[in-house]
Chains A and B, each alone.
Chain A
Amino acid sequence: MREKHSTHASLTLLLGTLITNQQGRVQGRLKDVAVATGPAAGKVAGLLLKTQDGPRLVAVKDVLQTPAGTLELREDAVLQPLRGDENLLLLQQDVMDRQIIDVHGRKVVRVNDVDLQWFAQNGHEELRVSEVAVGLRGAVRRLLKGVMPRHSLESFAMRFRASIIPWEFVDLIEVDPARRVKLKIEHARLAHMHPSDLADILEDLPQQERDAIFVSLDEGVAAEALEEVDPRLQKSLLESLDSGRVADIVEEMDPGAAADLLAELSDERSEAILGEMNPEERHEVEELLEFREDSAAGRMTTDFVQVASTVSVADAVRALREFDGDAEAVTVIFLTGHDDVLEGVVPLSRLILALGETRIAVLSEPRVISCHAEAHQDEVAELFDKYNLHSLPVVDSANRLVGVVQADDVIAFLRARQ
Chain B
Amino acid sequence: MLKRWRIRILLFLAVLGPGFITANIDNDSGGIFTYSNAGAQFGYTLLWTMIPITVALLVVQEMCARMGAITGKGLSDLIREEFGLRMTFLLMLLLVIVNFGNVMTEFIGIAGSMQLFHVSKYVSVPASALLIWLLVVKGDYKGVEKVFLAASVFYIAYIITGVLSQPSWHQATVATITLPRGSIWHSKSYIYNIVAVIGTTISPWMQFYLQSSIVEKGVTAKSYPASRLDVVIGSFFTNIVAWFIVVACAATLFAHGMGAIQEAADAAEAMKPLAGRYAFLLFAVGLFNASLFAASILPLSTAYTVCEGLGLQSGLDGGFKDAPVFYWLYTLLVAGGAIAVLFVPNTRLISMVILSQVLNGVLLPLVIVFMLLLINRKDLMGEYVNSRWFNAVAWLTAAVVIVLSLVMMFTGGAG
Interface residues of B in 243-277 (CB under 8 A from A): none
- Say whether, besides A139-B310, A206-B77, A208-B71, A112 and B222 are in contact (CB < 8 Å): no
* Chain B contacts for A210, CB-based, 8 A: 72
Which of A96, A111, A206 is within 8 Å of B215, CB to CB? A206
Question: Is A6's beta carbon under 8 Å from chain B?
Answer: no
Question: Is B181's beta carbon under 8 Å from chain A?
Answer: no
Interface residues of A in 29-43 (CB under 8 A from B): none
Least CB distance from B221 to A in Å reads 9
* Chain B contacts for A239, CB-based, 8 A: 220, 222
Interface residues on B, range: 10 to 19
Interface residues on A, range: 20 to 34
The answer to whether A206 and B81 touch across the interface, beta carbons within 8 angstroms, is no
* Chain A contacts for B86, CB-based, 8 A: 142-143
| Majority SS at the chain A contact face | helix
- Say whether, besides A139-B85, A143-B86, A143-B89, A236 and B218 are in contact (CB < 8 Å): yes
The answer to whether B85 and A97 touch across the interface, beta carbons within 8 angstroms, is yes
Give Cα distance in the complex from A233 to B80, angstroms. Answer: 25
The answer to whether B89 and A236 touch across the interface, beta carbons within 8 angstroms, is no
Question: Is B84's beta carbon under 8 Å from chain A?
Answer: yes
Give Cα distance in the complex from A207 to B71, angstroms. Answer: 7
- Say whether, besides A97-B80, A206-B71, A206-B77, A109 and B311 are in contact (CB < 8 Å): yes
Question: Is A184's beta carbon under 8 Å from chain B?
Answer: no
Interface residues of A in 202-258 (CB under 8 A from B): 206-210, 232-233, 236, 239
Most chain B C-beta atoms within 10 Å of own C-beta, residue among A134, A139, A233: A139
Give Cα distance in the complex from A207 to B77, angstroms. Answer: 13
| Majority SS at the chain B contact face | helix
The answer to whether B218 and A112 touch across the interface, beta carbons within 8 angstroms, is no
* Chain B contacts for A232, CB-based, 8 A: 218
Interface residues of A in 79-114 (CB under 8 A from B): 96-98, 109-112
* Chain B contacts for A134, CB-based, 8 A: 311
* Chain B contacts for A111, CB-based, 8 A: 311
- Say whether, besides A112-B311, A206-B71, A206-B73, A97 and B84 are in contact (CB < 8 Å): yes
Give Cα distance in the complex from A142 to B81, angstroms. Answer: 14
Give Cα distance in the complex from A208 to B220, angstroms. Answer: 10
Most chain B C-beta atoms within 10 Å of own C-beta, residue among A110, A111, A232, A236: A110
Least CB distance from A274 to B in Å reads 22
The answer to whether B71 and A112 touch across the interface, beta carbons within 8 angstroms, is no
- Say whether, besides A97-B85, A142-B86, A236 and B77 are in contact (CB < 8 Å): no
The answer to whether A236 and B220 touch across the interface, beta carbons within 8 angstroms, is yes
* Chain A contacts for B71, CB-based, 8 A: 206-208
The answer to whether B85 and A206 touch across the interface, beta carbons within 8 angstroms, is no
Give me the interface of A with B, judged by CB distance under 8 Å.
96-98, 109-112, 134, 139, 142-143, 206-210, 232-233, 236, 239
Nearest 10 interchain pairs by C-beta: A110-B311, A207-B72, A206-B72, A206-B73, A142-B85, A97-B81, A97-B80, A143-B89, A232-B218, A143-B86
Write 18 A-B pairs (CB below 8 A) sorted by A numbering: A97-B80, A97-B81, A98-B81, A109-B311, A110-B80, A110-B310, A112-B85, A112-B311, A134-B311, A143-B85, A143-B89, A206-B71, A206-B73, A206-B77, A207-B72, A207-B220, A208-B71, A232-B218
Given pairs A97-B80, A142-B84, A143-B86, 18 additional interface contacts (CB within 8 A) = A97-B84, A98-B81, A109-B311, A110-B310, A111-B311, A112-B85, A112-B311, A139-B89, A139-B310, A143-B89, A206-B77, A207-B71, A207-B220, A208-B71, A209-B72, A210-B72, A233-B218, A236-B218
